[in-house]
């Protein structure tokens, strides 16, 4: 898809129909906007860098506010694949309107041909940071101290996970797959906001038809569904699998597939050979939660948890059961 053809492309809507991208983009890519970026935004420090883009903190001079600017890297300006991916990300972020998806304010192409997405600046930390904090807190703690603290902390992490699931379920309703769900792409804001970030390889699709995985597999291998690694057809259940691996991290406090040689990771992933399914610090994980994880990361998509909505319902029911059980126990012992 070239930039010139963007207006003619279509995106699926929530009802399985399509709408013109021009309805989503407005007039954001028109030529008169070419010179507007430099005079309207003042770039400060870089806060993130990826395969084809970098994220800056910037000052919106016209609206007097601090924003985030995601810019196509200078070395990728002539890379048509990177440009297409960048435009696709902007399209989808404009298309998906959800409190957990960072709002996009504007889109520019400067005189050097570099593309810029202007969006809300989210201050906070990633889910990876939260997990690292848990490891720091549990160093040197006794099993009893960990048991008491982890009961509360795990419940909080599950609440965060449910918010993530809600966002992904919304995207699925709009026929969009995220395709790169992992703790590093989940941002926790300062007001208990939770955002699903990095829609760079997200993929819209029509109706219930599965997508054929490309020969050049994209995504983070240790969170990638086995059917994508095998270059088979995939659908929403591939995002369910990735969410299951995120849940694995949150519950057991260690990843299912440790970062290693990419080929070795693929070997283990397509065979379901995860790391040990036990809590890193000996916490007694409820059986229902173990089963939820196991079903979410089932190798065969047809036997896997069928949808993100179903995954959410399982967790809510389990948490309600645990809360009820803990309440009865406290009354029994007089707490």
Active site members:
180
Residues 255 and 135 sit within 8 Å (Cβ to Cβ)? no
Q: Tell me the chain's radius of gyration from C-alpha atoms.
A: 21
Q: Who contacts 185 (Cβ-Cβ below 8 Å, separation ≥6)?
A: 126, 196, 197, 198
Residue 166, SS3 per DSSP: helix
The beta strands (E) that lie in the chain are given as: 10-12, 18-20, 41-49, 53-60, 65-72, 104-109, 115-120, 124-126, 176-177, 186-189, 194-196, 203-204, 211-212, 233-234
Q: Is the separation of the CB atoms in 298 and 227 below 8 Å?
A: no
Q: Any idea what DSSP says for residue 102?
A: P
Q: Mapping DSSP to helix (H, G, I), strand (E, B) and coil, where does residue 249 land?
A: helix
* Tokens representing residue 227 in the block: 């059917």
């Amino acid at each position: 898809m070239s930039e010139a053809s963007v207006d003619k492309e279509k995106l699926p809507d929530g009802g399985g129909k399509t709408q013109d991208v021009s309805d989503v983009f407005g007039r954001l890519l028109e030529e008169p906007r070419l010179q507007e970026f430099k005079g309207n935004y003042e770039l400060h420090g870089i806060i993130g860098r990826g395969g084809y883009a970098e994220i800056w903190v910037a000052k919106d001079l016209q609206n007097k506010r601090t924003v985030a600017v995601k810019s196509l890297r200078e070395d990728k300006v002539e890379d048509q694949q990177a440009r297409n991916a960048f435009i696709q990300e902007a399209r989808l972020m404009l298309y998906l309107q959800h409190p957990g998806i960072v709002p996009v304010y504007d889109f520019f192409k400067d005189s050097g041909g570099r593309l810029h997405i202007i969006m809300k600046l989210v201050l906070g930390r990633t889910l990876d940071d939260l997990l690292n904090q848990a490891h720091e807190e549990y160093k040197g703690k006794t099993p009893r101290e960990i048991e008491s603290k982890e009961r509360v902390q795990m419940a909080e992490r599950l609440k965060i996970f449910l918010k993530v699931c809600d966002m992904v379920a919304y995207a699925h309703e709009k026929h969009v797959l995220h395709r790169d769900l992992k703790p590093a792409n989940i941002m926790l804001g300062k007001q208990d906001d939770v955002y699903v970030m990095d829609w760079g390889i997200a993929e819209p699709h029509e109706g219930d038809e599965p997508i054929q995985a490309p020969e050049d597999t994209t995504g983070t291998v240790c969170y990638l569904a086995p059917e994508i690694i095998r270059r088979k057809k995939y659908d929403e259940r591939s995002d369910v699998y990735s969410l299951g691996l995120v849940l694995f991290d949150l519950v057991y406090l260690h990843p299912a597939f440790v970062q290693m040689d990419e080929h070795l990771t693929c070997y283990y992933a397509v065979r379901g050979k995860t790391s040990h399914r036990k809590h890193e610090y000996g916490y007694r994980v409820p059986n229902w939660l173990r089963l939820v994880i196991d079903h979410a990361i089932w190798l065969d998509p047809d036997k896997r948890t069928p949808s993100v909505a179903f995954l959410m319902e399982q967790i809510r029911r389990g948490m309600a059961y645990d809360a009820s059980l803990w309440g009865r126990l406290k009354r029994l012992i007089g707490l």
